[in-house]
Homo-oligomer: A and B are copies of this chain.
Amino acid sequence: MLVIHMERGCKSLEVARVCGFLERKGCSLRVVGSFESPYIVSDGDEEVGNLILSLQGVKAVTPTKKPFPLASRETFPDDNVFNITEEIKIGGGDRLIMAGPCSVESRSQIIETAKGVKRSGANVLRGGAFKPRTNPYSFQGLGSEGIALMVEAKKETGLPIVTEIMSPEDLEWLEPHVDILQIGSRNMMNFSLLKAVGRTRKPVLLKRGMMATVDEWLQAAEYILAGGNHRVILCERGIRSFDKITRNTLDLSVVPLIKSLSHLPIIVDPSHGTGRKELIKPMSMAAIAAGADGLMIEVHPRPHEALSDGAQSLTLEEFQDLMGSVNKLCNALNEEVKTPCGLRIAM
């Protein structure tokens, strides 16, 4: 495949000429991104790529054999570092710590949690309002009321919020309220939803499907990138294996693997990844040591009262302890180990 990088500020006529050229060559094409600096993805071969290089407005052409050309490091060699809010960045050494309850349950619960995790150093508040539950009779979340409570907690603490979106229909009203849209594990291959969030300009947290290969995961990210939304954060949350002693099998090797294959930032969710609160701290430490750009941690003021996922939630005190250790580890790594995963990997 080819990724054709157009010049910043190129004219729409120049884009149209490239498209026309590709069409005459019988190649597929898709124009991606804003007017100032669009990309064109095509199935043309290297020969076509070389011819296109001479067209006006074309800055560069990257050929790639990867099925995720826009997500690939071959196309964009530098880390995709971007802002979540004006103050908060992910990538390039800045680690994003998302913490909060599995489900928003009440005003006091979410406000108490938000204040607590902020105090300990979290920089994003997580909380579920629409919950994808295996059983139709289980608590399905507070819905729009839950979102309102999240927004209130954001006002109180200043923490940006991340929450899961389960259906394209919810996007229009949900988008203005949240800072990061989360695609859950069970929806990683809900392509209608991927296309929908690709059309927004909000950062998207894309959890790995519990049965998804790395290759499929990056192609799911490609759906979003191909919609013109470049702010995608990957999140490893455990895969399904034959051993049921942990809820899922946290696959930390994807951290350096993704770093090699892609420019996208990747964080780790050891709460879902293990399902056992005793494992959350050591696996958080391991994730950071492996090079992760952040963590997503379930925290609840009183886990035994939680309506969902209590067994894998930390108390506020345990989260504070975790953050103490994580911060010391980050400092040690930043000083000593510059690029724990600087090598590139061929697929």
Q: Which residues of B contact A274 (CB under 8 A)?
A: 253
Interface residues as binary, A320-347 with B (CB distance below 8 Å gives 1, 0 otherwise): 0000010011001100110011011101
Contact of A332 among B167, B169, B249, B336 (CB under 8 A): B336
Interface residues as binary, A87-117 with B (CB distance below 8 Å gives 1, 0 otherwise): 0000000000000000000000000000000
B137 lies within 8 A of A1 (CB): yes
A285 lies within 8 A of B279 (CB): no
B328 lies within 8 A of A336 (CB): yes
Q: Which residues of B contact A169 (CB under 8 A)?
A: 168-169, 192
Task: Say if the beta carbon of A133 comes within 8 Å of chain B.
Answer: yes
Q: Known: A260-B278, A282-B289, A283-B290. Is A134-B219 also a contact (CB below 8 A)?
A: yes
Residue of B nearest to A140 (CB): B191
B219 lies within 8 A of A242 (CB): no
Q: Known: A213-B243, A245-B214, A245-B257. Is A325-B336 also a contact (CB below 8 A)?
A: yes
Distance, CA A243 to CA B286, complexed state (A): 21
Task: Say if the beta carbon of A291 comes within 8 Å of chain B.
Answer: yes
Task: Say if the beta carbon of A189 comes within 8 Å of chain B.
Answer: yes
* Least distance between A345 CB and chain B CB atoms (Å): 5
Q: Which residues of B contact A325 (CB under 8 A)?
A: 336-337, 340
A241 lies within 8 A of B243 (CB): no
Q: Name A215-268 residues within 8 Å CB distance of B.
A: 215-216, 219, 222-223, 226, 239-246, 249-253, 255-257, 260
Q: Which residues of B contact A192 (CB under 8 A)?
A: 166-167, 169
Contact of A253 among B28, B223, B255, B273 (CB under 8 A): B273
Distance, CA A159 to CA B209, complexed state (A): 36
Number of interface residues of A (CB under 8 A): 79
A41 lies within 8 A of B137 (CB): yes
* Least distance between A26 CB and chain B CB atoms (Å): 15
A211 lies within 8 A of B242 (CB): yes
Contact of A283 among B132, B246, B250, B253 (CB under 8 A): B253
Contact of A279 among B67, B245, B256 (CB under 8 A): B256
Q: Which residues of B contact A136 (CB under 8 A)?
A: 191, 219, 222-223, 226
B256 lies within 8 A of A135 (CB): no
Q: Known: A133-B191, A253-B249. Is A278-B336 also a contact (CB below 8 A)?
A: no
* Least distance between A200 CB and chain B CB atoms (Å): 16
* 22 A-B pairs with C-beta separation under 8 A: A30-B137, A41-B137, A166-B191, A169-B169, A186-B190, A187-B190, A211-B211, A213-B245, A241-B249, A242-B242, A245-B257, A249-B251, A252-B283, A255-B282, A256-B279, A257-B276, A278-B343, A281-B340, A286-B289, A289-B329, A325-B337, A325-B340
The 3 closest A-B pairs by CB, nearest first: A211-B211, A332-B332, A289-B289
